[in-house]
Amino acid sequence: MMIKLGEVQELRINKFTAAGAYLNVDESKEGDILLPRTELPKGLKVGDKIKVMVYNDPKGRRIATTKMPKAQVGELAYLTVVDQTKFGYFLDWGLDKDLFLPFSETIGSIEKGKSYLVGIYVDKSHRICATMKIKDMLRTDSPYKKDDKVKGTIYSINRDIGAFVAVDNKYEGLIPKKELLGVYQVGDTIEARVSRVKEDGKLDLSLRDKNHVQIDKDKETILESLKANNGFLPLNDDSPPEIIRKQLNMSKSGFKRAIGRLYKEGIILIENDGIKLK
């Protein structure tokens, strides 16, 4: 076994010095790492094991701490930007040394004081870093089934494909373009319905409920808009989808289903120039 950089683990106390305790794994030939005296619990002796987080100090040396980070290597977490440099950003992850987020690992605009969903990894220089490009860190073994309700964070948007979502901030999901109603941006949290579980375990998501539930919701949206506009809306079956989406935040197919139901129920009239309340 080896000491794992960026992870919480149990290490053995090999010796004490004025600086603190030097730790390692059993039967390891790699160099010991220091747990500073200021963090050393009382009553320990050589041979005892202690749970620590191993990370890099400001000089790049491996060091141990009994403080627990908000996330460790391989995990995802919302972390707050506390500083910006000419190379990237620094995030608060609960340890004395802040976590580095390189410019090359960001998506969209970043602001100091705001929190972002990031993954934690070890780069080629053996530094612990953060990345907003988390797709390859997401799992495809979610427990969810079709029509389950889920929550997640939008971590990337492709206008030709849709919005990529970290469901529970750990599973991979996609809101296809046709289901992406409204205006969203990276970092938004959403509630959605699982519309399909793909063979590879990835989740297709919908921001709309199942048809019979969604029709009722769309009916209410249309009625509220009608009442707010003196009982008339200049929308009908021939209206362009983008106009319907802009005014009511629903798809044209959803609009047509809802006004069809309202017409059959005798609540509205459908005319050449729009719809109106009876």
- The pLDDT tens digits of the residues spanning 212-260 come to 667 888 889 999 999 999 999 999 888 998 899 888 988 888 888 889 8
Please state whether beta strands 76-84 and 62-65 pair in parallel, antiparallel, or not at all (unpaired): unpaired
Is the pLDDT score of 185 beyond 90? Answer: no
What is the DSSP code (8-state) at residue 150? E
* pLDDT interval class at 210 (50, 70, 90): low
Domain(s) labelled CATH 2.40.50.140 in the chain stretch across 8-65, 76-135, 138-206
What's the CATH class of domain 76-135? mainly beta
Give the pLDDT confidence of 222-233 residue by residue, as tens digits.
999 999 999 999
Domain(s) labelled CATH 1.10.10.10 in the chain stretch across 211-277
Is the pLDDT score of 90 beyond 80? Answer: yes
Give the phi and the psi of residue 96 in degrees, each rounded to 5.
Answer: -60, -40
Give the phi and the psi of residue 166 in degrees, each rounded to 5.
Answer: -95, 100
Q: What is the pTM of this model?
A: 0.71
CATH number of 138-206: 2.40.50.140
CATH number of 8-65: 2.40.50.140
CATH topology of domain 211-277: Arc Repressor Mutant, subunit A (1.10.10)
Is the pLDDT score of 38 beyond 70? Answer: yes
Please state whether beta strands 189-197 and 203-206 pair in parallel, antiparallel, or not at all (unpaired): antiparallel
Q: Which two tokens stand for residue 114?
A: 């705001």
**Average pLDDT, integer, range 174-187:** 85
